Structure 1
Amino acid sequence: MLTSGSETERITEYTHDGLVFDVLDQGPLDGPVVLLLHGFPERASSWSAVMAILNDAGMRTIAPDQRGYSPRARPRRRRDYRVGALVGDVIALIDRIGRPVHVVGHDWGANIAWVTAGRRPDLALSLTAFSVPHPGAFMTGLLSSKQILHSWYFAFFQLPILPEKWMARPGQRAEKWYGRSGMTADDLERTRTEIVEYGALPFAVTWYRGLPFSNPGIGRLRITVPTSMVWSDGDTFITRSAIENAQRYVDAAYTLTVLPGISHWIPTQASRAAAAAILTNAELAVMQGFDTDSSA
């Protein structure tokens, strides 16, 4: 149940499950709210360029540093990073906002966005997912395509300590891996300062370690709000075959947009296209009656 709204004050942090999360809150306080969920290995700042465009369009944007990324929200147990716990953090933030929102996610954030919209459609006006499809579509891709070859690091990240040590070494293989995925020099520097030096890396990796503790039922969730799936053909992590199965899980208006020549890192490298997709989906949601008044 939604509490009273936060239209007269900024949300700079919120508390859930005994943890404190840092939040970026920008744009007109009375504007429609776009909730932006970052991926791995990034923080809320990865949405900065997208937020500026949305703010100019009259949207209020709220982007949290999620569990493990916020310094005061770093539990150590693997089970504390199961998908249900991560979704619970998002639901708590929407409750703090006090009204339904347009849910947006990239990479891991997209996975959490899909599950949030599936479990609590009353809180989601629309869903825009970047790079990562519905959990069921992703699992189907793992079993029926070359997706499993692109997801080798899921298994590697289950090892203790070694993955974060490997990724924290500047100029080593991990950074070359990032570079092959399309990360620019600026992206790499941001990862060094905002993830490695910030102390978030071991906890960010634990998102993968929490997967065995997650409810497999998330792969069967139905989505009943207007949905936009945005994928880029330069993505080295997610194959198109996995993306094309996403529509099977959506019982509402659905759009697939393919960005040519763009890598996996859509929010920073194709911010205008990303913002346009969010705005178009939000407009569609309003046209179809998925506005704040009808969803409250």
Structure 2
Amino acid sequence: MAPTHVTSRFLELPSLRLHLLEAGPSRGPLVLLLHGFPELAESWREVMTVLASAGLRCVAPDLRGYGGSDIPDDGYDLDTLTDDVVRLAERLRPGERVHVVGHDWGGVIAYHLAMHHPERVDRLAVVNAPHPAVMSRRVWRPDQLLRSSYVGFFQLPWLPERLLTSRGGRWVPHAIRAAMVHPERVPPEKLAPYAANFARPAAARAALAYYRCAVRGRLAPRALKRIFSPPPPIRAPFRLVWAERDIALGRHLARGLERYFLGPCEVRYLPDVGHFAPLEAPEAVAALLLEHLAPERAAQSAVPASHAGASTTPGASPTP
């Protein structure tokens, strides 16, 4: 496949300016790629080039509060974060369904979007983010509580901000590399923009606001209603890509998904890859995404999914 260039631009939404990375033919099937914490749209660059070379139009925004996007004082609750993506999709492809891919926090937003705005989602793929109902049920396992203890730390005042911004934000690249099995695959200069982003106190506060709103917002009336009600089933065909060596999320969170989906639901595992799979194993992730989002184009991929080191497990795998 010919090399595909990734371009950058800003897009004004009604109440937010987003910084976007874009690649691929302008009228190709649109794929929105949503990054996680503590990342940027840049995390998807290598994945985007593979998908774009297969004819998909790829757009990766810096989410609210990240990178070149605006850093408002509020709006970090899940409904508003999801509305940002809905407005982005409508601006790019009015009235059309789009493919949505999310990793980590981007995956949380992607699930929420598919559940509450099914008319906007064609196919859904998530990388290392559990379905929210699965997370709610299984986060109480002692091993997962330990893995998720950082969320409690993020509720503290000022100290998490001090950590993220210390030494010019250099803790962030260190944490990302520590969560990889093969950090040597990602050169230090690749992560320099992440440090620069988190060197800004406002950006650090915004990223932490995702976690603070998620925890404190669970006491709001709308959130309490959701806790005691079954989540809307997701209609879109779904694939979960799960890197098995995730230090933050246990493999048990990738099991027992079928009850939450009306359509096809499957899990593909990436052995010997850590939490930041789009950075650590972009070709393998891209191959699995392409196979799901555009199976008719996957045969032309430079890295067929069957050779990407992945194993397959249906979403109906038994619950431990």
TM-score under structure 2 length normalisation: 0.78
Equivalent residue for 1:96?
91
Equivalent residue for 1:209?
212
Q: 1:244 to 1:208 in 2, by over 3 A?
A: same
**Is 1:152 the equivalent of 2:149?**
yes
Q: Return the structure number with greater relative CO, CA threshold 8 A, min gap 6.
A: 1
**Is 1:15 the equivalent of 2:12?**
yes
Q: Match of 2:273, SS?
A: strand
- Check conservation: 2:164, 2:198, Cα contact below 8 A: no
1:100 Cα shift?
A: 1.4
Root-mean-square deviation (Å)? 2.6
Q: Tell me the distance in 2 between the aligned counterparts of 1:173 and 1:75.
A: 24
TM-score under structure 1 length normalisation: 0.84
Q: 1:149-192 deviations in whole A, cap 9, x for unaligned?
A: 10111111111221021122249877655443125562653421
Alignment of structure 1 residues 53-132 onto 2, 5 Å: 53-71=50-68, 73-77=70-74, 80-98=75-93, 99-132=96-129
Equivalent residue for 1:36?
33
Q: 1:176 to 1:30 in 2, by over 3 A?
A: closer
1:72 Cα shift?
A: 5.2
Look up the equivalent residue of 2:89 and give its one-letter code: I
Give 5+ residue unaligned stretches, structure 2: 1-6, 298-320
Look up the equivalent residue of 2:115 and give its one-letter code: G
Alignment of structure 1 residues 138-287 onto 2, 5 Å: 138-144=135-141, 146-170=143-167, 177-182=175-180, 186=188, 188-196=191-199, 200-211=203-214, 212-213=216-217, 215-216=222-223, 217=226, 220-283=231-294
Q: Match of 1:210, SS?
A: helix
Q: Tell me the distance in 2 between the aligned counterparts of 1:11 and 1:43.
A: 13
Q: Tell me the distance in 2 between the aligned counterparts of 1:11 and 1:174.
A: 23
1:273 Cα shift?
A: 1.4
Q: Which deviates more from structure 2 when the two are superposed, residues 160-169 or residues 230-239?
A: 160-169
Look up the equivalent residue of 1:111 and give its one-letter code: V
1:264 Cα shift?
A: 0.5
- Check conservation: 2:67, 2:197, Cα contact below 8 A: no
1:283 Cα shift?
A: 3.0
Give 5+ residue unaligned stretches, structure 1: 1-9, 287-296
Equivalent residue for 1:45?
42
Look up the equivalent residue of 2:255 and give its one-letter code: E
- Check conservation: 1:37, 1:105, Cα contact below 8 A: yes
- Check conservation: 1:125, 1:285, Cα contact below 8 A: no
How many residues are paired up? 275
Q: Tell me the distance in 2 between the aligned counterparts of 1:121 and 1:285.
A: 23
Q: Match of 1:102, SS?
A: strand
Look up the equivalent residue of 1:28 and give its one-letter code: P
Q: 1:99-151 deviations in whole A, cap 9, x for unaligned?
A: 21110000100010011011111111111000001111111121245211101
- Check conservation: 2:99, 2:121, Cα contact below 8 A: yes
Q: 1:14 to 1:76 in 2, by over 3 A?
A: same
Q: Tell me the distance in 2 between the aligned counterparts of 1:172 and 1:190.
A: 10
